[in-house]
Amino acid sequence: MREINIGLLGYGTVGTGVAKLLIENKEILTARVGAHLNLKWIADIDTETERGIRLPDGILIKDAHKVVSDPEIDIVIEMIGGEGIAKDLIVKTIENGKHIVTANKALLAGHGNVLFAAAAKKGVDLAFEASVGGCMPTIKSMRESLVANHINAMTGILNGTCNYILSKIADEGITFQEALAEAQKHGYAEADPTLDVGGFDTAHKIAILTALAYGMEINLKDVFVEGISKITPLDIEFAEQFGYRIKLLAISKYENGRVEARVHPTMIPFDNLLASIKGTVNAITISADAVGDILLYGHGAGMMPTASAALSDIVDIARNILSGAVGRVPALSYQQENIRRIPILPIDELVTHYYLRFSALDRPGVLSTISGIIGKYGISLQSVHQKGRKMNGAVPLVMLSHAAREADVKRALNEINALDVVSNEAVLIRIENEKLD
Ligand code: HSE
């Protein structure tokens, strides 16, 4: 039986999961592929730590360059992460005419256009199912199952750490800092949690999906990103009163040639399926013209779910090699020559509904001053609420707007923030609710 030789770069959490599946599920993989997937090398700087897997003697080495240069290696799996050495090794792998599988969304979001073009030119596959949504078959679904559709929108919970933190604040009324500490205690958040809670990890993922969905170049720099660190139990409580949950959403839309791609805390109605997604899991709704909506749900991170996604790429490539059909499915779904540069709508041009919360002195005339400024910028209010006790002399004043232009809302907030009767910056949370006018 034919052997497909595999080299794994990075023997950390996900790398260990990949090795585990290749070794422990060898039989089922062989039965399904019709060839042996042979893990020939694993390269990692740490060759000492025990990972709990019985590896064949001598396959764990320190020299990653030996792996990408070995003429017998067919597929290289990059599980190092980051944009330094990982990028150099991927470039080298492509130059050496080998296929590459990666979970490195930061790298693809930043440098994917060049890497995909290089892989296409060299006639090798660069596969990345594990880069978005862990085990959810997001990329395969969009690229293959939905190939006959125009994709119109994607709305996703794509960061388990943020979803865990927001669920904790909502369920237990604790602060963001307390919920983050819990996430860190359980090992969900990274040591430096900025990538997660700042929304950047989610932005990497939606930048990749946006390119894939609409046939455009990856454009990370124009994806609007706002994280969850300012979300308070008070805003979650107000949201619940209005029938909303707050989620960190990745939102991508294509309408009349205009593309939206944004990441921010968002209020969604209880009956939106994404509102019930709690804890560390991920979910994404994809809306397309022939199928309507589909929902994917599953573990977006972790050793085995992410390794499972990487294995799906390895098997795809192995099957392609066996049938001599390399490059059969274009990486970004569209043939390279049909990938366009489509601008992403600046956030100031967004038109949506807003939740606005002010900390205002409880005095006659304050409400009319604030609503007067809002009216001056052409923003129409749907409702106004003043509830709760005074804190430091101020009360929370909440307004829900009709559809308004973000630039107008920001101008109004700047003027309101400068008022003497207002303490603390106004809180702005965007609302996604198709039922509103
Ligand atoms: N840090 C990510 C998360 C997983 O919390 O979902 C890797 O993308």
354-395 pLDDT, tens digit per residue, is: 999 999 988 889 999 999 999 999 999 999 998 766 666 789
Give the CATH fold of the 348-431 domain: Alpha-Beta Plaits (3.30.70)
Above 70 in pLDDT, residue 206?
Answer: yes
Question: For residues 296 and 286, what is the distance between their CA atoms, to the nearest angstrom?
Answer: 8
> Which of 204-208, 255-259, 388-392 has the least mean pLDDT?
388-392
pTM of the full structure = 0.96
Lowest mean pLDDT among 271-280, 305-314, 360-369, 370-379: 360-369
Mean pLDDT score, 35-59: 96
Q: Which atom of ligand 1 lies at the shortest distance from residue 196's CA? A: 1
Mean pLDDT, the chain, integer:
95
Rounded CA-CA distance 416/28 in Å is 64
Q: Is the pLDDT of residue 230 over 90?
A: yes
Give the integer Cα–Cα distance in Å for 246 and 413. 21
pLDDT in tens, 124-136: 999 999 999 999 9
- Average the pLDDT over 82-106 and give the result: 97
Q: Give the contacts of 414 (CB within 8 A, at least 6 positions apart).
A: none
CA dist 330 and 34 (Å) reads 23
Residue 301 Cα to ligand 1 middle (Å):
5
Cβ-based neighbours of 334, under 8 Å, separated by 6 or more: 215
Q: Which one, of 97, 95, 70, lies nearest residue 9 by Cα?
A: 70
> How far separated are the first and last CA of the chain, in Å rounded?
62
- The secondary structure of residue 402, as a DSSP letter, is S
Q: Average pLDDT in the 216-229 region?
A: 97
Cα of 16 to ligand 1 centre, how many Å?
17
Which residue shows structure tokens 């939606």? 206
Report the nearest atom of ligand 1 relative to the CA of 164.
5
Query: Which is catalytic among the residues 205, 221, 253, 410?
Result: 205
The amino acid at residue 138 is T
Nearest residue to 353 (alpha-carbon basis) of 385, 398, 401: 401
Q: Are strands 381-386 and 394-401 parallel, antiparallel or unpaired?
A: antiparallel
CB distance 90 to 78 below 8 Å? yes
Distance 177 CA to ligand 1 centre (A): 18
What DSSP character marks residue 340? B
46 Cα–ligand 1 center, Å: 23
- Residue 121 neighbours by CB under 8 Å, 6+ apart: none
Strand, helix or coil for residue 154: strand
The ligand 1 atom at the shortest distance from the C-alpha of residue 300 is 6
Q: Where are the domain boundaries for CATH 3.40.50.720 in the chain?
A: 3-137+303-338
Q: What residue ranges line ligand 1, CB within 6 angstroms?
A: 159-161, 196, 201, 300-301
Cα separation, 158 vs 205, whole angstroms: 7
Ligand 1: centre distance to CA 247 (Å): 15
Other beta carbons less than 10 A from residue 364's beta carbon = 6
- The atom of ligand 1 lying closest to the CA of 159 is 6
pLDDT digits (tens, 9 = 90+) for 389-417: 666 678 999 999 999 999 999 999 999 99
* Whether pLDDT at 231 is above 80: yes
CA of 190 to the centre of ligand 1 (A): 8
Say which amino acid occupies 109. Answer: A
Compute the distance from residue 134 Cα to the ligand 1 centre, in Å: 8
Distances (CA, A) of 27 to 4, 88, 190: 14, 33, 35
Phi and psi angles of residue 143, each rounded to the nearest 5 degrees, phi first: -80, -30
Q: How would you classify the pairing of strands 75-78 and 99-102? A: parallel
- Domain 3-137+303-338: which CATH class? alpha beta
Q: Which atom of ligand 1 is nearest to the CA of 195?
A: 1
From the CA of 61, how far away is ligand 1's center (Å)? 28
- Which residues, 6+ apart, have CB-to-CB distance to 359 below 8 Å? 391, 394, 395, 396, 397, 422, 423, 424
- Return the amino acid letter for 345: L
The dotted CATH code for 138-299 is: 3.30.360.10
Give, using CA atoms, the residue closest to atom 7 of ligand 1: 301
pLDDT at 327 (0 to 100): 86
Asked if residues 225 and 264 have their Cβ atoms less than 8 Å apart, the reply is: yes
Residue with tokens 């804890």: 279
**Alpha carbons 27 and 35: distance in angstroms, whole number:** 10
What stretch(es) of the chain map to CATH 3.30.360.10?
Answer: 138-299
Ligand 1: nearest atom to the Cα of 190: 1
Quick one: average pLDDT of 228-252?
96
| Nearby residues of 133 by Cβ (< 8 Å), 6 or more positions away | 156, 158, 205, 282, 284, 296, 298, 300
Pocket test for ligand 1, best of 128, 159, 163, 186 (most atoms within 8 A of CB): 159
Residue nearest to atom 2 of ligand 1 (CA): 159
Is residue 9 within 8 Å of residue 43, measured between CB atoms? yes
The protein residue with its alpha carbon nearest to ligand 1, atom 4, reads 301
For residue 329, CA distances in Å to 32, 99, 212 come to 20, 13, 12
205 is catalytic: yes
Per-position DSSP letters for 218-274, written without gaps between them:
--GGGSEE--STT--HHHHHHHHHTTEEEEEEEEEEEETTEEEEEEEEEEEETTSGG
Mutate which of 182, 188, 205 for ligand 1? The one with the most ligand atoms within 8 Å of its CB, which is: 188
**pLDDT confidence of residue 389:** 62
Which segments of the chain belong to CATH 3.30.70.260? Answer: 348-431
